[in-house]
């Protein structure tokens, strides 16, 4: 348990456990945010504020989060969308709360960090298993294959597909890393293997293309790292190649994922202009016009909550036509965000907010030489960086809750050195 004594510390950790277990589900009738409120209550009741303030002072990662939220608050003052700005200020409170609480406490034991990671993996696996089981039930009634894909597969969860894909990839990476290192998070080898297979299927059926790429990258990192040390370079290349081959065969064998790959191919070859009446991905135009918004509002952005309006005003000049599966549409008919967290932050709150976000991702790679969870941090940051490149992950609760909690747990909170264990 944490090195803070007493009854309140036990309840604090129980609240963290509740939060972690509910994070992949995020259903309205059992609110995950209750875990934040309870953690805050027990953090307050535990007292010791002078020691907490001392612990927090000099915490560079917590300071970066506080600075980021300060710029969001300042951006609300010159926003043209007051209601949306208020919503964002509220939804991004975890940027303050988790670094404040976890950054002000003494180090958790390694066993307790492992327990939180274990809760997250098991809860994510339970959600995936329940989603597939429910999809099979619905398929037996309707005979419609769409129940196995994307949002239709995930109707038991309040987490959108792009976000849950990121959750699953992170859970897979942590579980696989501990397994190949001979320190499995779950005692049963068959349970580890079963959950890994379940996560592979989930990544395929959730239909998020960036997670396809991330799956290959995560395994390239983990398998090469292990086998290069244990069995040599040839074994590393062979193991990685075999795993990728199996994954690609599954992608090409399953109709839904095969269609997603074909769509990606058509979007790439149509990047410059339409070919065979096929248009490229809308992100090309979202990013181009997003850069235009940034160029016009470089220093302080357009204001918190106003960035999407500025983007969609520019999209009215884009004449590209897209197909949604049923009808054609143009970008101005929809309300888009930037589909890129870095551009979204830059457009909303300016260059300093953008630099803080970049620092949150880049600086830890130079500051982790003796960190006991160094590889877990690398996995977390790498998965987030690439996921944030194609989605505005911090515009929804599912992204904010995941990112701030695990960042605060792994980086804002001090950690015991391996010798202290």
Residues 31-44: what's their mean pLDDT? 96
pLDDT tens per residue, range 60-106: 999 999 999 999 999 999 999 999 999 999 999 999 999 999 999 98
| 8 A C-beta contact, residue 148 and residue 135 | yes
pLDDT at res. 415: 79
CA 277 from centroid of its chain's CA atoms? 34
User: Residues, the chain, total?
Assistant: 421
Helix, coil or strand: residue 334: coil
The rounded mean pLDDT for the chain is 91
Nearest-angstrom CA–CA distance, 72 and 86: 10
Which has more confidence, 334 or 165?
Answer: 165
Looking at residue 323, its pLDDT comes to 73
Render pLDDT for 266-296 as a digit per residue (tens, 0 to 9).
Answer: 878 877 777 766 778 899 999 999 999 999 9
Predicted pLDDT of residue 419: 53
Cβ 153 vs Cβ 182: under 8 Å: no
Residue 416 confidence (pLDDT) above 90: no
Looking at residue 360, its pLDDT comes to 98
Q: Is the model's pLDDT at 1 over the cut of 50? A: no
Name the residue with tokens 């967290």.
341
Flag whether pLDDT at 29 surpasses 70. yes
Angstrom distances, CA of residue 154 to CA of 131, 166, 256: 6, 14, 15
Task: Report the alpha-carbon distance of residue 240 to residue 234 in Å, rounded.
Answer: 10
Measured on CA atoms in the order 328, 330, 336, 341, is the torsion positive or negative?
Answer: positive
Give the least confident one: 5-9, 149-153, 349-353: 5-9
Indicate if the pLDDT at residue 4 is higher than 50. no
Q: How far apart are CA 120 and CA 116, in angstroms?
A: 6
Closest CA to 174 of 327, 375, 17: 375
Does the pLDDT of residue 55 top 80, yes or no? yes
pLDDT confidence of residue 420: 46
* Closest among 237, 204, 233, 207 to 220, alpha carbons compared: 237
pLDDT value, residue 421? 43
Q: Can you tell me which residue has the tokens 């135009």?
A: 285
DSSP 135-159: HHHHHHHH--GGGGSHHHHTTT-SS
pLDDT per residue over 333-343, tens digit each?
Answer: 888 999 999 99
Asked if pLDDT for residue 171 goes beyond 70, the answer is yes
Q: What whole-number percentage of the chain has pLDDT above 90?
A: 71
- The per-residue pLDDT for range 213-225, each reduced to its tens digit, is 999 999 988 877 7
Segment 179-221, tens digit of pLDDT: 888 889 998 999 999 999 999 999 999 989 999 999 999 998 8
């Amino acid at each position: 348990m944490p090195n803070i004594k007493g009854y309140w510390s036990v309840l604090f950790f129980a609240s963290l456990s509740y939060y972690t277990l509910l994070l992949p589900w995020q259903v309205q009738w059992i609110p995950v945010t209750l875990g934040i409120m309870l953690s805050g209550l027990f953090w307050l009741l535990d007292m010791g504020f002078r020691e907490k303030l001392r612990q927090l002072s000099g915490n560079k990662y917590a300071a970066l989060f506080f600075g980021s939220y300060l710029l969001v608050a300042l951006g609300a003052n010159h926003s043209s969308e007051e209601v949306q700005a208020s919503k964002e200020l509220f939804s991004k409170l975890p940027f303050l709360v988790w670094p404040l609480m976890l950054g002000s406490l003494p180090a958790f034991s390694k066993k307790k960090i492992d327990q939180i990671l274990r809760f997250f993996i098991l809860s994510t696996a339970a959600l995936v298993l329940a989603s597939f089981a429910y999809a099979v039930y619905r398929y037996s009634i309707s005979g419609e294959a769409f129940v196995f894909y994307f949002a239709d597969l995930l109707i038991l969860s309040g987490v959108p597909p792009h976000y849950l894909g990121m959750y699953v990839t992170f859970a897979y990476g942590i579980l696989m890393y501990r397994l190949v290192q001979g320190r499995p998070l779950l005692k049963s080898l068959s349970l580890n293997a079963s959950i890994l297979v379940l996560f592979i299927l989930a990544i395929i059926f959730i239909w998020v293309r960036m997670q396809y790429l991330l799956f290959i990258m995560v395994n390239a990192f983990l398998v090469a790292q292990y086998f290069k040390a244990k069995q040599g370079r040839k074994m590393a290349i062979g193991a990685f190649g075999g795993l990728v081959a199996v994954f690609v065969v599954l992608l090409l064998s399953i109709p839904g994922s095969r269609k997603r790959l074909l769509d990606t191919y058509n979007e790439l070859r149509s990047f410059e202009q339409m070919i065979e009446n096929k248009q490229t991905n809308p992100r090309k135009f979202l990013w181009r016009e997003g850069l235009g918004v940034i160029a016009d509002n470089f220093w302080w952005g357009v204001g918190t909550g106003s960035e999407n309006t500025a983007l969609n005003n520019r999209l009215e000049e884009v004449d590209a036509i897209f197909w949604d599966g049923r009808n054609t549409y143009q970008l101005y008919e929809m309300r888009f965000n930037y589909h890129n967290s870095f551009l979204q932050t830059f457009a909303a709150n300016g260059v300093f907010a953008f630099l803080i976000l970049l620092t949150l991702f880049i600086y830890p790679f130079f500051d982790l030489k003796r960190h006991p969870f160094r590889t877990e941090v690398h996995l977390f940051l790498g998965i987030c960086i690439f996921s944030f490149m194609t989605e505005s992950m911090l515009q929804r609760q599912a992204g904010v809750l995941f990112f701030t909690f695990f960042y605060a747990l792994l980086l804002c909170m001090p950690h015991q050195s391996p010798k202290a264990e």
